[in-house]
């Protein structure tokens, strides 16, 4: 039988779970989010996927300003950078499916970049660490540019998810596929627009983003100091509305928001919701279910976990 998408998961990520758990003051909220990740992991295990398409961002540890495609598919080797206690080293890639997806997207009018030796960071490896823990699942990594403007539009990300859905279904071999969107929700990072940095910290960040290829760890200590010193700006109202749209199968409405709209309403880090939009569209915008939501100021982020199970009775999804 052909390829089949059996589950969708959206999940926030934060390496501070690994490095600063003991210092996290909102421990009840953080625990609620961590428990949501575990529940999602169990649901993935129950769905028995062969492969997980992990749609995530890249925090300039695997891609740099020397080349920033809107969308990049890993079609060969995949290596995780291993920052902050996340998985490090080679990851198992479903090469036949990855190459099929790349070809079908091109045939369908998209122009994704592809990499036969892709380096990912916690934008995808956080999901590997927590959502695929102990599971024998291959990957197809798909990186969405959410940090180096100009960004792909939210509408284009919805179109990409729909194209992925069709491409998986056209795969000629039996393949059970989970789609994971990793990132968001609301948060503000102390990251500049690379085109107009202001002050020493922002100029340092842009230098790291431009020159980090092969040497990203040299910049990492100061990068994390800058991030740790940033004030927390979380917008629970935006997060609640976004999750409600996911639960009711209306995530297409987010496609009306521009990059400027998202930043104004939920911070520059909320640009990562594009990964959730790709996932939701790949699941045909079926109604979903929120497993956990917690604003965690020490992690700077509105942390959420949600699932879309196309096989679940509709009345049990939301």
**CA–CA distance, 96 with 165 (Å, rounded to integer):** 16
3-state secondary structure labels for all residues of 200-239:
HHHHHHHHHHHHCCCCCHHHHHHHHHHHHCCCCCCCHHHH
* pLDDT at residue 1 is higher than 80: no
User: What's the whole-number mean pLDDT along residues 185-195?
Assistant: 94
Residue 300 falls within a domain, yes or no? Answer: yes
Task: Decide if 220 is inside a domain.
Answer: no
Does residue 21 have a pLDDT over 60? yes
Report the domain count for the chain.
Answer: 1
Structure tokens that stand for 189 in this block: 């990072």
pLDDT band at residue 100 using 50, 70 and 90 as cut-offs? very high
153, HSE (Cβ side, Cα atoms, 13 Å): 9
199 domain-assigned: no
Is residue 126 assigned to a domain? yes
Q: Give domain status of residue 209, yes or no.
A: no
Confidence of residue 312 (pLDDT cuts 50, 70, 90): confident
- Element housing 301 (H / E): strand 301-308
pLDDT, mean of residues 154-177:
97
User: Is position 150 within any domain?
Assistant: yes
Q: Which domain holds residue 271?
A: 3-189+230-317
Does residue 204 belong to any structural domain of this protein?
no
Name the CA dihedral angle for 221, 12, 64, 162, rounded to a multiple of 10 degrees.
Answer: 180
Point out which residues pair with 10 in neighbouring strands: 181, 306
- The DSSP line for 30-88 is HHHHHHHHHHHHHHHHHH--SEEEEEE---SSS-BTTB--SEEEEEEEEEEE-GGGS-E
Looking at the domain assignment, is residue 216 inside a domain? no
CATH number of the domain that residue 150 is part of: 3.40.830.10
């Amino acid at each position: 039988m052909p390829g089949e998408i059996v589950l969708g998961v959206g999940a926030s990520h934060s390496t501070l779970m690994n490095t600063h758990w003991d210092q996290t003051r909102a421990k009840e909220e953080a625990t609620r989010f961590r428990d949501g990740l575990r529940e999602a992991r169990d649901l993935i295990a129950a769905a028995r996927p062969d492969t997980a398409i992990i749609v995530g961002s890249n925090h300039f540890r695997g891609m740099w300003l020397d080349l920033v495609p809107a969308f990049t598919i890993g079609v060969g080797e995949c290596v995780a950078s291993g920052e902050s206690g996340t998985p490090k080293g080679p990851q198992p890639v479903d090469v036949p499916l990855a190459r099929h997806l790349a070809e079908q997207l091109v045939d369908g009018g998209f122009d994704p970049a592809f990499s036969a030796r892709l380096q990912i960071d916690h934008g995808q490896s956080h999901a590997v660490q927590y959502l695929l823990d102990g599971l024998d699942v291959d990957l197809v990594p798909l990186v969405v540019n959410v940090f180096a403007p100009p960004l792909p539009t939210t509408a284009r990300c919805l179109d990409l998810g729909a194209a992925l859905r069709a491409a998986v279904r056209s795969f000629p071999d039996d393949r059970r596929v989970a789609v994971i969107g990793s990132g968001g929700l609301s948060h503000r990072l102390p990251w500049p627009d690379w085109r107009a940095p202001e002050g020493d910290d922002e100029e340092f960040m842009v230098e790291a983003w431009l020159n980090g290829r092969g040497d990203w760890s040299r910049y990492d200590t100061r990068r994390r100091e800058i991030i740790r010193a940033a004030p927390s700006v979380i917008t629970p109202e935006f997060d609640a509305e976004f999750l409600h749209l996911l639960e009711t199968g209306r995530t297409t409405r987010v496609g009306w928001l521009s990059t400027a709209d998202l930043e104004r309403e939920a911070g520059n880090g909320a640009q990562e919701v594009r990964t959730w939009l790709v996932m939701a569209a790949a699941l045909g915008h079926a109604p979903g279910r929120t497993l956990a939501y917690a604003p965690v100021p020490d992690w700077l982020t509105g942390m959420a976990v949600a699932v879309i199970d196309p096989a679940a009775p509709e009345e049990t999804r939301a």
